Structure 1
């Protein structure tokens, strides 16, 4: 059975780009007689807001997108992430890192990767790290990545995973018990997600997720990385760039179900276009 999910973070209001992704995940599941799940990725306790969770639920109902089963909240699954971290730690694949983002950005040894400066390994191999200091936990990717790994995207075909391009990624942050990479990989497996429908901005990150799947003996889903939406300025729609919210459209009296139908048909609102890679 096909199982998809929509997994927004309640750190701001949803915008048209979220609707575009949710409609595709919902439509793909329903067309195949499958299940569509809703997961709230609220692991960032400092930025997540209850009012944003409520707005997400109302926005999806406004769009006419129903979901199966209860809503999953990452904040209630911390023990599962802790178990995964302990398993990786027991394998000797994690190490504590005390560097700040500024330290990494200022390092002349930090190359550039898919998501910005790549961690240069400053704290890897510290003899006696002081764990009383604030620290995150990083995956020793070179040590972890042995066998050749592959994953498949419905639009781009087969891809050989190259997690080393991301450097030693953070799996447990200083301010959160797990990173996006770890939590999303563990949750997709636990929820039985067979097809991950998400934006092209996360295409490269899948290399990291594929490595974690191999290390934790988790199933590998099919991926469907769809194009992103751009505004009139050509920049992709994003919360931090002030993209118009679905809530504002809803409160203005717009017809959410009609909007969803148009998105399913590939009809985009005036001023909105597919972002060119």
Structure 2
């Protein structure tokens, strides 16, 4: 049966594509990935077998952009803590303990500075959403956007990432995991950020090891993460014990519409590759 296999469809990075598998599938032509990031794959190895790679760049954009803004807002206004506090309020009142609403004060989003690291199609649309909240937007990218594109969303380009980090109130990491973008935010970068800053990560999990220390020591105020190095995080992981961290289980593409469109785009990519056409 292995000789009949021409395509592989990966859903949520569960399958391992290694040399042994590729050698066992002599007629494999294309691998379709259910998402944008392909850091879990050895692309050079795949290419060495003459196999094409395709990802769902269009299908996941809207749901990922919305997740990024949702995390920013939820962290800024401490929505999860506020929800929990309703239960704590009743417990405190019934036990005669003091309950203080000031413990749940959040920070303003309107007028705040948002720094976006990685302004491709997803990062650009996040800037568009942030503009609706009247945020001041800075961005760092390998290449600067066209002037009319910057003006359309009111962004300012920072050629050096340090300039962005020193000014922002919120930093959102929106770069796919590649050898060039591996570990975009390290200890040095976090120490450049304001102690009142919040880090939002919707793209890669390589940040979390340095992040724990920064959050514990007050280097930055808070973090909101949809992506972690281990998914799901172990129940005893330090990040899950910190009050200034909001974590979600990679929800960025988990909507009914996104799931359907991802599959639809994957099928289009697979059919194009099988028919010798450019992958859309």
Instruction: Give the alignment's TM-score, normalised by structure 2.
Output: 0.31
Larger Rg: 2
Structure possessing the higher relative contact order (Cα contacts under 8 Å, 6 or more residues apart): 1
What's the TM-score once normalised by structure 1's chain length?
0.31
